[in-house]
Amino acid sequence: GENVEQHPSTLSVQEGDSAVIKCTYSDSASNYFPWYKQELGKRPQLIIDIRSNVGEKKDQRIAVTLNKTAKHFSLHITETQPEDSAVYFCAASDSGGSNYKLTFGKGTLLTVNP
């Protein structure tokens, strides 16, 4: 089955800096890669996603890149703000872009220091 590795497990940055979280996946059939943000005590929220036919996608301060050959994808957050502090999860799915089965990374605790 699919295996998703996520690094780093913790990341601390100063407000205004950029943050990068990286994930690798094992199943070449995976074709949908969402990212979730989970604040303490709250539900995971979908913040951005990318499909395997796209190499990069941006939404304001966040962007995701995908390298299918190397089987890795990354989340980039620019101009970080204290409200970006949360746990971020990457995930992979081979079910045509649906949530049939998402395999998650272990998460990255991002702390943005004011």
| Binding footprint of another protein on the chain (CB under 8 A) | 34, 36, 42-46, 49, 89, 91, 95-107
CB of 6 to another protein, least distance (A): 9
DSSP string of 32-51, one letter each residue: EEEEEEE-TTS--EEEEEEE
DSSP β-ladder status, 10-14 and 108-113: parallel
CB of 106 to another protein, least distance (A): 5
Closer of 13 and 97 to another protein (Cβ): 97
CB of 50 to another protein, least distance (A): 11
Neighbours of 54 (CB within 10 A): 12
